[in-house]
Amino acid sequence: MLAKRIIPCLDIRNGRTVKGINFESITDVGDPVEMGQLYSEQGADELVYLDITATHEKRKTLPQLVKRIARNLNIPFTVGGGVSGLQDAEILLENGADKLSINSAAVRNPEIIPRLAQRYGSQFVVVAVDARLENGRWEVYVNGGRKPTGKELFSWVKEAQERGAGEILFTSMNHDGTKQGFAVEALKKMSAMVSIPVIASGGAGKAEHFRQVFRETDTEAALAASIFHYNEIPIPILKKYLDEEGVAVRR
């Protein structure tokens, strides 16, 4: 069994790490570089940095911040926000990003997925998907969860894989920031229907939620923010718990 990955997520706005609930009520929680260093020291397997207002504000992720992060980290990190083409990807790569997360741009122009995959390799391309369950149907949203698209979650995820995505980062907007657990049923269906890694995001509140998502789905990684930002579940304690529960994790 492949070891499961634990991934802290740092949402960025104006160069600072922020956190919200259901994509709203945003508050400042710290410096993204300092927090990234701490998570690396604690044993995080990877980090994800998402500039949550870049697309909405029609600007690019700050390359200077990416460069600072790269200089201070020794674990892989993914960057997303405002990426719309190969030039954006090139800038992020040159400044030290290991992977690129695309969300709104991929929905609006799906051809960006194969273009990036062909240029840099599928392992570089993480397709992030924000979706909300409404009336029994999961709908994909863009612009940092502000705009519904009409796209159905599972058909879009399947299409993203077919176009060359290397990973899927799925965030349930219903669960985001609630600390009530991941969207297990959706993740179970999603991870069974694709052959690329699926990263669970949205809803982690206690160690048992990680155990549940890893045991009940084929999800390969789980991402969380506030429980790490506020030191509610330190990464070493979480990994020790999962190991004792029979979940293979990287040590």
Each residue's pLDDT tens digit, 194-243: 999 999 999 999 999 999 999 999 999 999 998 998 899 999 999 999 99
Domain-located, residue 250: no
Domain-located, residue 23: yes
Cβ count within 10 A of residue 206: 16
Domain-located, residue 249: no
Residue 88 annotated among the catalytic residues of the structure: no
More confident residue, 205 or 50: 205
Domain-located, residue 101: yes
Domain-located, residue 148: yes
Query: Per-residue confidence at 52, pLDDT binned at 50, 70, 90?
Result: low
Query: Per-residue confidence at 57, pLDDT binned at 50, 70, 90?
Result: very low
Residue 218 annotated among the catalytic residues of the structure: no
What span, in angstroms and rounded, lies between the C-alpha atoms of 43 and 46?
Answer: 9
Domain-located, residue 251: no
The residue annotated as part of the active site, out of 88, 130, 176, 218, is: 130
Query: Token digits for 223?
Result: 């991402």
Domain-located, residue 67: yes
The boundaries of the domain holding residue 239 are 5-244
Helix orientation angle between 32-42 and 235-244, rounded to the nearest 10 degrees:
30
Domain-located, residue 177: yes
- For the chain, the average pLDDT equals 91
Report the CATH number at residue 37.
3.20.20.70
More confident residue, 153 or 1: 153
Percentage of the chain beyond pLDDT 70 is 92
Average of per-residue pLDDT across 41-54: 87
Average of per-residue pLDDT across 135-152: 93
Query: Per-residue confidence at 164, pLDDT binned at 50, 70, 90?
Result: very high
pLDDT at 18 over 80: no
Please give the backbone phi and psi of residue 80, each rounded to the nearest 5 degrees, phi first: -145, 160
Q: Count how many domains the chain has.
A: 1
